[in-house]
């Protein structure tokens, strides 16, 4: 299992009425393979893990760059993941090709190789162990500008 991240001082959200994005929760069939995928292959750092009956049922991870966090939560008994889940996770990296080569070397299959999209962002697509669609992409400053096509 991945090592726990060492504690670091995180500033509290600023006061006021504005929202601050905190984290995303991804429901998974089994936490252990998802934890290995996000920590070992994508480089997320383990913050917390909760086990029940000797199996991990929840894990919280921090992105390799920045302060965003991702939580993995085992599905409740009797619940299933839908085919599309309505979720696509985006992870930005400057060198999309290099990141994809590293993933492929670890056995991850891309559903789309890195490709420049009409809106000017480079994307590659893959799925996590539970079928959640992931985009490894680079937009840079374009992410904060209106798209010009």
Residues 6 or more apart whose CB falls under 8 angstroms from that of 131 comprise 81, 83, 85
Tokens of 111: 């559903």
Tokens of 139: 């937009």
Task: Tell me the per-residue pLDDT of 127-141, one tens digit each, with 9 for 90 and over.
Answer: 999 989 999 999 888
* Most confidently modeled range among 21-30, 41-50, 136-145: 41-50
Task: Tell me the per-residue pLDDT of 66-118, one tens digit each, with 9 for 90 and over.
Answer: 888 999 999 988 888 876 566 889 999 999 999 999 999 999 999 999 999 98
pLDDT of residue 71: 94
Torsion of CA 86, 41, 112, 69, to 10 degrees: 30
Q: Is residue 6 pLDDT above 70, yes or no?
A: no
More confident site: 66 or 6: 66
Contact predicate 124/96, CB 8 Å: yes
Q: How far is CA 1 from CA 37, 47, 61, 91, 116, in A?
A: 11, 12, 13, 22, 35
Residues 6 or more apart whose CB falls under 8 angstroms from that of 9 comprise none
More confident site: 140 or 7: 140
Q: What pTM, to 2 d.p., does this model score?
A: 0.77
Contact predicate 63/46, CB 8 Å: no
Dihedral of alpha carbons 44, 57, 107, 124, sign? negative
Percent of the chain with pLDDT over 70: 83
Mean pLDDT check: name the lowest of 15-19, 29-33, 140-144. 15-19
Residue ranges and CATH numbers for the domains of the chain are 18-77 (3.10.180.10), 85-149 (3.30.720.110)
């Amino acid at each position: 299992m991945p090592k726990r991240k060492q504690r670091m001082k995180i500033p509290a959200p600023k006061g006021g009425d504005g929202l601050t994005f905190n984290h995303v929760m991804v429901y998974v069939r089994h936490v252990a393979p998802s934890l290995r995928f996000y920590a070992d292959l994508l480089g997320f750092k383990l913050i917390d893990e909760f086990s029940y009956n000797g199996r991990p049922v929840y894990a919280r991870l921090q992105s390799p760059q920045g302060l965003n966090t991702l939580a993995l939560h085992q599905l409740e008994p009797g619940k299933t993941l839908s085919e599309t889940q309505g979720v696509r996770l985006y992870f930005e990296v400057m060198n999309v090709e290099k990141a994809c080569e590293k993933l492929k070397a670890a056995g991850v299959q891309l559903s789309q190789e890195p490709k420049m999209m009409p809106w000017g962002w480079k994307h590659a697509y893959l799925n996590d162990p539970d079928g959640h669609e992931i985009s490894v992409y680079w937009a840079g400053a374009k992410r904060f500008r209106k798209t010009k096509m």
